Amino acid sequence: MTAPFDRAPSALHNTQLSFDSLGTPLSDVTFVIVDLETTGTRAGQSEITEIGAVKTRGGEVIGEFQTLVKPEHSVISPFVARLTGITHAMVDDAPSISSVLPSFLEFSIGAVLVAHNAPFDIGFLRSACERLDYHWPAPTVLDTVTLARRVVGRDEVRNHKLSTLAAHFGTQVEPDHRALSDARATGELLHHLFERFGGYGVTTLEELSTVRQSGWAKRQAKSHLAK
């Protein structure tokens, strides 16, 4: 589930690269693409109702994680129920976030987290950790919204919503506001974007971190043509 975010997000958040990991080829990086469904848009006030995640390495899916989550205090509004298809009846017997979160953190340990509009999903996960007094590992985070804005222009797409980009690239999985489906679609989108970045000579995680810079695409195009 994605939602509006007040700040312009950078593509790479909380980057903690050691000297050993500088220049790591993207094909050697383990990514966990995550998507959440929630009762609302504000972390700390709304709650998670579903977590879906796909673990990939070298373009191959090596694991998946999915669970409904029973909200402890929030109500699933009729609008959210229509949007996601998740109702109170579906989550009544689901595990609580306190039991689900450790499993997800273990699933994603050591991986780069990826989400479409990452500040939303990562904000909810971090908020849940803080509320439950769980350690937040502060992983490297990639935001496919920002990545797409750097290499997919408005002359190609009308916006950078997940559904629009999935249709543009022809992903096999269509996003449907369910966490695992959206995570799968985002994973496919990520690798389509990697192909675009490869055209600019960007093939490592460290190089990818520079896409947050203003005017990146024009500079990269000039640099790549000059080689």
Looking at residue 98, its pLDDT comes to 97
Distance of CA 211 to the CA centre of its chain: 16
Looking at residue 183, its pLDDT comes to 99
Looking at residue 3, its pLDDT comes to 43
Looking at residue 223, its pLDDT comes to 58
| Residues involved in catalysis | 177
* Domain 12-226 falls under CATH 2.60.40.10: no
Looking at residue 16, its pLDDT comes to 46
Say if residues 56 and 78 touch (Cβ distance below 8 Å): no
Looking at residue 133, its pLDDT comes to 96
pTM (two decimals): 0.86
Name the residue among 111, 196, 205 with its Cα closest to residue 148: 196
Residue 213 — φ and ψ, nearest 5°?
-75, 140
Say if residues 32 and 184 touch (Cβ distance below 8 Å): no
| pLDDT per 10-residue tile (average), the chain, 227 residues | 39 48 86 98 94 98 98 93 95 97 98 98 97 95 96 96 98 96 98 95 89 65 56
C-alpha to C-alpha distance for 129 and 136, rounded to whole angstroms: 6
